[in-house]
Structure 1
Amino acid sequence: MNETTQRPALPDHLSVDPRSPHHVAAVFEHDIGIRLNDKERSDVEEYCISEGWVKVPAGKTLDRKGQPLLIKLKGKVEAFYK
């Protein structure tokens, strides 16, 4: 139970990309789960709970900077610690 008190609160908007202003390194020290429309997703790159969307890679497609091309999926978003 002591471990749960050390976990930081999950933000409303979080990104995996360290260059993003929405990246919080302390959160990624723990395993995070994301549910979109009551189905758990393991490929989420960015999410926003209040706006109800997640960004996931679009297959193996890359943008011109070599980063995965992301598509936005809308629905009910839940973030939790595993």
Structure 2
Amino acid sequence: MSVLENFQDWKTFLAQRVTQAASAGMEKQTMENIAYQIGEYLSNHVDPKNEQERLLKELWDAGTEEQRHAMAGAMINYVQNRKQ
């Protein structure tokens, strides 16, 4: 099963990657740029697998580039600050 099949699995996967990147010394701006690129890829090439992903795609598609960058940063903050 893909991490994209279940939103909880996606959040856990993303949180692990963000933790690894931070531990390796990656700056937050770099993580946000990568998250933006991933968001662009997912929006353009991956069919949402659940209602949460569908909402994120619709918000992403409706946003400007600046708003998409903000969403990418917010997703990073979300997984960093959520309770396990």
The bucket for the TM-score relative to the shorter chain is under 0.3
Structure with greater strand share of residues: 1
TM-score normalised by structure 2 residue count: 0.24
TM-score normalised by structure 1 residue count: 0.25
Structure with greater helix share of residues: 2
**Structure having the higher Rg:** 1
